[in-house]
Amino acid sequence: MSFLSNRVQALKPSPTLALAAKAKALKDSGLDVISLSVGEPDWDTFGEIKDVGIEAIQRGQTKYTAANGLPELRKAVAEQFLRDFGVQYEASEVTVASGAKFAIFSALQAVINPGDEVLIPSPYWVSYPSMVELAQGKPVIVPCGREQSFKLSAQQLRAHIGSKTKMLILNSPSNPTGGMYSDSEWAELGQVLKDNPQALVLSDDIYNRLVFNQRGVAPHLLESCPEMKSRCISINGVSKSYSMTGWRIGWALGPQEIIQAMNNYQSQSTSCAAAFSQIAATAALERAEESVKASVQVLRQRRDFIVSELQKIAGIQVNPPEGAFYVWPQVDAFFGKRLGGKEIHDSKDFAQALLEAENVALVPGAEFGLEGFVRISYALEQPRMAEAVERIKRFVSNRT
């Protein structure tokens, strides 16, 4: 007999965990493991933000806040959105959560009924389908291959959207590909959405300041289609851009009714995000833009390095990412071959054999819903990356 609910029994544990556990075991045994699998910046939270958080604790700002977060943070979020995209939100149309992940989770809980369909282009961030299932929705995966730069096209959206579609989830720039929707691509998708008033959009903007364009921010659906404001939930947070993953602050901007439901959901679950983290996050939005720009410069150099090095390896194909800190090389040319003494059938075999043969950890593409690729995080220092590339080169040329 199991005491477990059907809900959690259906929940798939992330297969990356097994690989991560193996990488850790190898490291603990004294081996020089290089991890290209991390989902967070390798630099510290900026000093000016840490100081604000420490001062907040010293002042005693260590108690509950309102479930939807501190008014000054919600105001800073709305002001940043207005500066970035020219779209106005009231502070009451913003809710603060313990990380963007919980903001996505509670948004789904707030709007999904059993059986509602949620369109998710693949490759996708690993958590979307599971979170949809936990809300009793039905993930509808739309494969988006390399020929379309892993982005959903308007034609595909038109083909898949229907009366049962409650939501479309989009993530730009994308984890895992680093691809980003342009203004014209947003406009084309918006055209299809206009004809489908039953569908909401959840725009996961968590990487939108870690971008390599002139503007320093990724284009947003609401710039091209402001009329979608009544059907769009925008998610963001301080985790990635401000290197604050452990502070656990994210947020959502959206229609009042949905935001209010998320507030209620949060009030009965997490109560609120940590008070001092909210204060530090407010400082991040108000005064850390120059530090973000400086880290983007570093990321750009690392991106250029890893892309050019990977492009030199016969059998690997890779597009330069436009944002985030991931590259998404195609490795299926090695499927059916022997590498590092192992037969390689899929991306999981590739990742496993690479870890065993060369102590380099990366994430198999299958986890993101698209086979044939692997995800490499370049949130690590260039000398380590150079060493990792040498090991990958050795691995793919060791066809025994």
Ligand X SMILES: Cc1ncc(COP(=O)(O)O)c(C=O)c1O
Q: How far is the CB of 268 from ligand X (least distance, A)?
A: 20
| CB-nearest residue to ligand X | 99
Query: Which lies closer to ligand X via its Cβ, residue 105 or residue 186?
Result: 105
Nearer to ligand X by Cβ, of 334 and 368: the residue is: 368
CA distances from 177 to 34, 145, 146, 329 (A): 20, 11, 10, 9
Q: Which residue's CB is nearer to ligand X, number 186 or number 247?
A: 247
Q: Which residue has the tokens 């049962």?
A: 164
User: In 3-state terms, what secondary structure has residue 62?
Assistant: coil
Please, what is the minimum distance in Å from the beta carbon of residue 98 to ligand X? Answer: 8
Query: Residue 359 is encoded by which pair of tokens?
Result: 């102590």
Question: Is the CB of residue 259 less than 8 Å from the CB of residue 69?
Answer: no
- The C-alpha atoms of residue 177 and residue 319 are separated, in whole angstroms, by 9
Q: Which is nearer to ligand X, 68 or 171 (CB)?
A: 171
How near is the Cβ of 363 to ligand X at its closest, in Å?
A: 11
The Cα–Cα gap between 316 and 339 comes to 14
Cα distances (Å, whole numbers) of residue 139 to 169, 228, 261, 351? 10, 22, 22, 26
If the CB atoms of residues 303 and 395 are measured against ligand X, the closer one turns out to be 303
The span from the CA of 125 to the CA of 367, in Å, is 9
- Interface residue list for ligand X (CB under 6 A): 39, 99-101, 125, 171, 175, 204, 206, 237, 239, 245, 250
List the structure tokens of 353.
């054999």
CA–CA dist 136, 356 (Å, integer):
38
Residue 206 beta carbon to ligand X: minimum distance, rounded to whole angstroms: 4
Token pair listed for 16 = 């990356």
**Minimum distance, C-beta of residue 107 to ligand X, in the bound complex (Å):** 12
Identity of the residue, 131 or 222, whose beta carbon is nearer to ligand X in the bound complex: 131
Exposed / middle / buried, residue 357 (Cβ in 10 Å: 0-12, 13-18, 19+):
middle
- Write down the least CB distance from residue 10 to ligand X, Å: 22
